[in-house]
Amino acid sequence: MSRVIVAGSINVDLVATADRFPRAGETVPGRTFAQYPGGKGANQAIAAARAGATTAMVAAVGDDDHGRQMRTYLSASGVDCTGVRTHPTLPTGIALITVSAGENSIVVVPGANGSLAASDLDDLAFAPGDVLVTQLEIPITTVAAALQRAQRHGAITVLNAAPMLAEVQSLLAHAHVLIVNETELSALTQTQIDQDAASHLVAQAADALRQRGLPTIIATLGARGAIVVGESTWFELPGRDVAVVDATGAGDCFVGTFAAALTTGGTIKAAAQFANVAASICVQRPGAGPSMPTREEIEAAFRG
């Protein structure tokens, strides 16, 4: 059976809600505070597992309560944590998140995530049909090693270029699918793309990027949905009209459920449609990891 294998970050999210984001040097009163499982890698692994895929993770946590809590949570969510290493001195990664009006602002302290090395992939076996998912919250050299190893063994490689780093340009030749939001697409193409940009302009920017050797680009556009650009065509997936509670983790939900759908042998279009619906469920709940929907929930939303 094909698997989703996630090489990425594990964080604990410390989330405060407020009426608005503070300006530089300003303190604003918060409304609520909560602690959630997070990290782009962990979120994507949980999303894939809950969407029905056999899922494993390669990552690093600290030898601390946060690390033990995340191992327990990932395992309970159906993620194989055999490849999650414990660093003896560095802490588990932390994300400080402010949420206001459904949008978020995030500061990430990588901790043990920054220690994940290419050698940590040595025991990782890929097979044709497997899907590798990786992002940029671990060292770029480790991301490159994971992509190249997966590619050599016939796995599908999905790169989520977040958070944006200039070095990502060197990774593009090793990705079968690149998933970016409008900010990341703008940075990679040096064009002005935002959530209000006309669809054909988003598609043009993505196609310019695709011509560097990428088979497929997916631009996620928040409430607008997503645009998928392939070799000979592009199509738009409209956003679903839902009440947004917290957008944290929505992009990760899209990535993880997209990968899960690919393991069943579906097309890029079908996988993206599945992921688009899943992300619309995710934003209706607080937190990242806990907001990831199950396969049954996603299929019910399709039918609805």
Q: How confident is the model at residue 210 (pLDDT cuts 50, 70, 90)?
A: confident
Is position 63 annotated as part of the catalytic site?
A: no
Residue among 94, 155, 93, 90 nearest 124 (CA): 155
The reported pLDDT for the residue numbered 145 is: 96
CA 70 vs CA 36, 59, 201, 271: distances in Å: 10, 11, 40, 28
DSSP secondary structure string for all residues of the chain: --EEEEE---EEEEEEEESSPPPTT----EEEEEEEEE-HHHHHHHHHHHTT-EEEEEEEEESSHHHHHHHHHHHHTTEEEEEEEEESSSPPEEEEEEEETTEEEEEEE-GGGGG--GGGGTT----TT-EEEE-SSS-HHHHHHHHHHHHHTT-EEEEE--S--GGGGGGGGG-SEEEEEHHHHHHHHTS---TTS-HHHHHHHHHHHHTTT-SEEEEE-GGGEEEEE-SS-EEEEEPP----S--TTHHHHHHHHHHHHHTTT--HHHHHHHHHHHHHHHTTSSSSGGGPPPHHHHHHHHH-
- Report the alpha-carbon distance of residue 45 to residue 55 in Å, rounded: 6
The reported pLDDT for the residue numbered 302 is: 81
- For range 216-236, the mean pLDDT: 91
Q: How confident is the model at residue 139 (pLDDT cuts 50, 70, 90)?
A: very high
Whole-structure pTM value = 0.92
- For range 140-159, the mean pLDDT: 96
Q: Do residues 295 and 54 lie in contact, with contact meaning Cβ atoms separated by under 8 Å?
A: no
Q: Do residues 147 and 134 lie in contact, with contact meaning Cβ atoms separated by under 8 Å?
A: yes
The reported pLDDT for the residue numbered 1 is: 78
| Burial class of residue 244 in the structure, from the number of CB atoms within 10 Å of its CB (0-12 exposed, 13-18 middle, 19+ buried) | middle
- For range 239-245, the mean pLDDT: 86
- For range 188-207, the mean pLDDT: 87
| Burial class of residue 304 in the structure, from the number of CB atoms within 10 Å of its CB (0-12 exposed, 13-18 middle, 19+ buried) | exposed
The reported pLDDT for the residue numbered 160 is: 97
The reported pLDDT for the residue numbered 211 is: 85
Neighbours of 52 (CB within 10 A): 19
Return mean pLDDT, the chain. Answer: 93
Q: Is it the case that residue 272 has pLDDT exceeding 90?
A: yes
pLDDT tens for each residue of 281-301: 999 888 778 889 999 999 998
Q: Look up tokens 């019910």; give the residue.
A: 300
- For range 187-214, the mean pLDDT: 87
Q: Is it the case that residue 58 has pLDDT exceeding 90?
A: yes
